[in-house]
A and B are shown apart, each in its own frame.
Chain A
Amino acid sequence: MILNIPFSDIVFYFVAAFMVLLSIAAVSSKNVLRSAIFLIATFLGTAILYLLLKAEFMAMAQIMLYVGGVVVFIIFAILLTSHLGENKLSTPISQKFLAVFLALTLLGVMAKFLFNTKELSESVAQKSPEASSLIAYGERLLSYAPNGFVLPFEIISILLFMTLVVAITIAKKDNKEEK
């Protein structure tokens, strides 16, 4: 029986279990720096999942932007704001039970609608190999055709620039208040 399962499926289930366990560790760890490290491992698992789904460009973007960008931001912020005793924040057990109850209710409602849809469980991929090549992505991203993405690309670049200016303006020291 077990030999009928393809190798990629075994890798998928392994990576899925790894990601679920590590993200539980990331949200429930008391030390914030440690949960940032668990977050890195979760993002690496996601990159492996993207490789299994034949989205190599997405996997590389995931590693560069999330692991190289967002998590480094988070670690910088943790180190800039680290404060003795802050790591020991605890929530009351009743709030934890309420949170588990709410989250599981949401999961149950979503799964109920998911299992009613029969056509989700077919495993035949629609994607042709040339649709996911790097050349296809690049041409689509910069094409002026009606199905091209050059306008969102420009908007994203302006948004990134504005965001960095806003972030510096918010985080810089205000000389009047500090004296």
Chain B
Amino acid sequence: MTLLHCLILAFILFTIGIFGVLTNRHLIGMLISIEIMLNAANINFVAFAYFKAQDPTAGTLFSIFSIAITACEMAVALAILIAMYRKHHSLDVNTQEINHE
């Protein structure tokens, strides 16, 4: 297990997340793909803190803040999604129409 292997794992997970965002038509499916991408970024933070950092405690604490921001982002995203579902009764991104009223 070297730093290179951890970074390659994180890159593969990020690529899978991008594939999911590009192919999913369900809004919640796209959010799940975004979660996988953010998770890959956190793996990068922790791996660099373990292998390379001058100050490993600060490196690991930074990813705690990143996780907290992710939780905030998901709460707002799911609230928007529920409001959207109430208006359109669908979560398909291909059929969403924006009403200009």
A: residues with CB less than 8 A from B are 8-9, 12, 16, 19-20, 23-24, 26-28, 32, 35-36, 39, 42-43, 46, 49-50, 52-55, 57-58, 61-62, 65-66, 69-70, 73-74, 76-78, 80-81, 83, 86-87, 89-91, 95-96, 98-100, 102-104, 106-107, 110-111, 114-115, 120-128, 131-132, 136-137, 140-141, 147, 149, 152, 156, 159-160, 163-164, 166-168, 170-171, 173
User: Are B64 and A61 in contact (CB-based, < 8 A)?
Assistant: yes
B: residues with CB less than 8 A from A are 1-9, 11-13, 15-20, 22-26, 28-29, 31-33, 35-36, 39, 42-43, 46-47, 49-58, 60-61, 63-65, 67-72, 74-76, 78-83, 85-86, 89-92
User: Are A16 and B9 in contact (CB-based, < 8 A)?
Assistant: yes
Instruction: Tell me the bound Cα distance from A145 to B24 in angstroms.
Output: 46
User: Are A27 and B36 in contact (CB-based, < 8 A)?
Assistant: yes
Which one of A58, A95, A111 lies within 8 Å of B8 (CB-CB)? A111
- Complex interface: chain A residues within 8 A of B16 (CB): 20, 23-24, 27, 103
User: Are A42 and B39 in contact (CB-based, < 8 A)?
Assistant: yes
Supposing A114-B8, A121-B3 touch, asked if A53 and B46 sit within 8 A by C-beta, the answer is yes
- Complex interface: chain B residues within 8 A of A42 (CB): 36, 39
Top 10 closest pairs, chain A to chain B, by CB: A27-B20, A99-B22, A167-B79, A171-B79, A163-B72, A170-B79, A89-B25, A12-B1, A81-B85, A123-B2
User: Are A122 and B2 in contact (CB-based, < 8 A)?
Assistant: yes
Instruction: Tell me the bound Cα distance from A62 to B92 in angstroms.
Output: 30
User: Are B4 and A120 in contact (CB-based, < 8 A)?
Assistant: yes
